[in-house]
Amino acid sequence: MTCESSLLDVASSSSREVGRPRAMPRGPFASSTGVGRAEPPWDALNRCEDVVVGRDDVYESWRADDDARAASPARVDAPPVMWEKGCSNLSDAYDVVVVGCGLSGAAIAERCSRALGMKVLILERRDHVGGNCYDYVDEKSDIRCSKYGAHLFHTKHQRVWEYVKKFSEWTPYEHRVRGRARASDGEMRLVPIPPTRETVNALFEDADVTNDAEMEAWYDAERIQPASGGAPANGEEAALARVGPRLYEAIFKHYTKKQWDKYPEELDASVLTRLPCRTTNDDRYFSDAWQALPRRGYTRIFENMLANDPNVTVRLECDYFEMKKSGKVPRHEILVYTGQIDSYYAAMGMPKLEYRSVVFEEEYVEDADEGYYQEAMVVNYPGPDVPYTRIVEYKHLPNQPEGRHEKPGTIIAREYSSATGEPYYPVPNPANRALYEKYAELAAKEENVAFVGRLASYKYFNMDEAILNALEMFDNLRERGVLDPKRAPKDF
């Protein structure tokens, strides 16, 4: 994904951020439990209890190779796997050709190879594996960064958790987000997102919520049900019915406009129907049973899944459609397509589906206060005061290279939603949904072609959902000989 990105070297951070405080906390975002952890009792709900769980075969092989370690004595981890580029010298035929090396494609490739012994070719248009999960250690700053924005693994599915532990060591991490929002007295305040009791008390002078019952009563007094008496007809009606006008204005309305370039009343009610209504002070962004970060980054997961497997061939910088046009795609029994479904049928002249993309503006901050630019890894900007949606500072994450938290210098990334660029988020409205159904009807008639993943399904999947969807499709291949989904994308 070629999202626009620039890395600016500056002597000090800019003052463009609204309400940014002068005094910064010391060290990474932490709790009394540790870096990247929620406060008790919420931390104890994470079933990833050990400091490190899982396995990392790439790392263990490198550590056991005395010659490899001696060649780079300063290294503390295995070097990145070097994947072959281009489509030359491929075999004439494969059992499976996978288009795209993100989570969906990699999971199906791994299962087809290791469980069924199938010969698999993965064709990836970009110059790296991992799809949008791709991360790397920046050479200048020694900070682990994500090329396509922050990725946080969380799941309620034990099957997915057991699966990912095969390909990485994991460390517990409860993601907590802060937002810089305007309070009723006109001041900008840093508050938990999604809103908690702390958020409400900080933003509204007349709020004094001290327990769950009082918080529920506060919501009840704020909520405005649709005038029709029926279900919400759009996103604004859904938001007002969930959180009321004041939280809607302070946290959700303008953020939604920046994210989608549409106000909530222009979007499906489904977009805001599930707004979290916390009655506690649980400030975890997710409530899933397992929440963790891969100890040596997300890219390592793909290296462990696919490298050193004689059945799997990975080729980067290979455009499937260009190869198909020139007759260079090898013969295959099954095609697994993980790209945009409308691109697959581009030759038919049908309208394109609508997506939102993200532009990243990166900045290296040499002399950030106490070594950090902001209070948390992610700080949202829900108001209309600035054009970006959030600022991400990766240095806060606990899976940074050893000792990096204590060193000066940091990298931040401002994120801007965009209508152009590589597709990130399907735009949920009736027109797009109806158009996707037409594409899905065409896809259902394809023989020996499986459409897998968020772009092919026009559905935003969390990482665990993408993996589960791929694993369930593989179940059908093993049980019935067909790569079909066990559930519709909308059921995730």
- Taking only the tens place, the pLDDT of each residue in 158-211 is 999 999 999 999 999 999 999 999 999 999 999 999 999 999 999 999 999 999
Does residue 256 lie in a domain region?
Answer: yes
Q: What's the one-letter identity of residue 461?
A: F
pLDDT digits (tens, 9 = 90+) for 98-138: 999 999 999 999 999 999 999 999 999 999 999 999 999 99
Using a CB cutoff of 8 Å and minimum separation of 24, what contacts does 72-75 make?
A: none
CATH number for 169: 3.40.50.720
| Rounded CA separation 362/58 (Å) | 30
Does a cis peptide bond (omega within 30 degrees of 0) precede residue 382? no
Closest listed residue to residue 146, CA positions, set 160, 161, 170, 130: 130
With a CB cutoff of 8 Å and minimum separation 6, the contacts of 164 are 54, 153, 170, 301, 467
Burial class (CB in 10 A: 0-12, 13-18, 19+), 92: exposed
Task: Please report the DSSP string for 67-87 in residue order.
Answer: HHHHHSTT-SSPPPP--EESS
Closest listed residue to residue 297, CA positions, set 173, 407, 168, 468: 168
Closest listed residue to residue 140, CA positions, set 375, 368, 407, 399: 407
Q: What is the pLDDT confidence band of residue 50, given thresholds at 50, 70 and 90?
A: confident
Q: Which of 69-73, 108-112, 247-251, 415-419 has the lowest mean pLDDT?
A: 69-73
Q: CB–CB of 100/321 below 8 Å? A: no
Q: What is the pLDDT confidence band of residue 271, given thresholds at 50, 70 and 90?
A: confident
What is the domain count for the chain?
Answer: 2
Domain span holding position 202: 183-273
Q: Identify whether residues 256 and 320 lie together within a single domain.
A: no
Q: Identify whether residues 157 and 116 lie together within a single domain.
A: yes
Q: Identify whether residues 169 and 251 lie together within a single domain.
A: no
pLDDT of residue 487: 85
Q: Identify whether residues 170 and 191 lie together within a single domain.
A: no
Q: Identify whether residues 249 and 295 lie together within a single domain.
A: no
- State the average pLDDT for the chain: 92
pLDDT digits (tens, 9 = 90+) for 370-398: 899 999 999 999 999 999 999 999 999 99
Average pLDDT over residues 300-325: 97
- The share of the chain scoring above pLDDT 70, in percent, equals 95
Last residue of a domain, one of 400, 425, 450: 425
Q: CB–CB of 372/396 below 8 Å? A: yes
| Rounded CA separation 436/352 (Å) | 9
Phi–psi pair at 35, nearest 5 degrees: -65, 130
Residue 361 has pLDDT above 90, yes or no: yes
Q: Is the dihedral of CA 391, 396, 397, 403 positive or negative?
A: positive
Other C-beta atoms closer than 10 Å to the C-beta of 460 total 15
Q: Identify whether residues 10 and 115 lie together within a single domain.
A: yes
DSSP state of 249: I
Task: Please name the helix (run of DSSP H) or strand (run of DSSP E) that holds residue 158, with its range, or none.
Answer: helix 158-164
Q: Which of 49-58, 120-129, 354-363, 424-433 has the lowest mean pLDDT?
A: 424-433
Does residue 469 lie in a domain region?
Answer: no
pLDDT of residue 6: 37
| Rounded CA separation 124/101 (Å) | 6
Q: Identify whether residues 67 and 33 lie together within a single domain.
A: yes
Average pLDDT over residues 290-304: 98
SS3 57: helix
DSSP state of 413: E
Q: What is the pLDDT confidence band of residue 25, given thresholds at 50, 70 and 90?
A: low
Average pLDDT over residues 434-449: 95
Does residue 478 lie in a domain region?
Answer: no
pLDDT of residue 73: 86
Q: Which one has a higher pLDDT value, 67 or 274?
A: 67
With a CB cutoff of 8 Å and minimum separation 6, the contacts of 435 are 342, 350, 351, 353
Q: What's the one-letter identity of residue 298?
A: Y
Q: Is the dihedral of CA 217, 219, 220, 221 positive or negative?
A: positive
